[in-house]
Amino acid sequence: MEGTQVPLVGEANVVTKVETAQRGDNKRDWKVVLQLTCEPVEKNAGAYVATIELIGFFEVDNDLPEGRIGDVVAANAPAILYSAARELILLITGRGPFSPLSLPSATFIDETPSSQKKMAEAQKAAEAQSNQPAK
């Protein structure tokens, strides 16, 4: 998945990159990697630059229909990892000489396969409509 920019109070950017992969033959076992970088918009404007990578292994409940597994993993697994990253960054920066760095909350719902498909279809429809001659 591509990185997503989330605006951060104090003129900084948070960029996340998520990678999901099914583990082995079991469609319910997943490995998810979250890479997160937070840096000031302007050089030398902030006290911290943070880069962290978290890896999580997730098992999807047997009651969830197979058709929904990809969306649930893509939305929920990175959200869990992001929450852990927020806490870790807050804990570490809270022990330094500057104000602690508190990342904003984030959602990964737009990164699900079904959301990506809907956005691509909407974009394709909009392009087709803009290419039609005016009546």
What's residue 74's pLDDT? 94
Distance spanning both ends of the chain, measured CA to CA: 40
Which single residue is written with the structure tokens 């997503």?
A: 4
Question: What is the three-state SS of the chain?
Answer: CCCEEEEECCCEEEEEEEEEEECCCCCCEEEEEEEEEEEECCCCCCCCCEEEEEEEEEECCCCCCHHHHHHHHHHHHHHHHHHHHHHHHHHHHCCCCCCCCCCCCCCCHHHCHHHHHHHHHHHHHHHHHHCCCCC
Strand order in the sheet with 29-40: 4-8, 12-22, 29-40, 50-59
What's residue 11's pLDDT? 58
List the chain pLDDT tens, one digit each, 135 residues: 445 544 444 556 889 999 999 998 999 999 999 999 988 777 766 678 899 999 999 999 999 999 999 999 999 999 999 999 999 999 998 898 888 888 888 889 888 888 888 888 888 888 888 877 766
Find how far residue 70's CA is from the centre of its chain. Answer: 14
Indicate the pTM of the whole model: 0.78
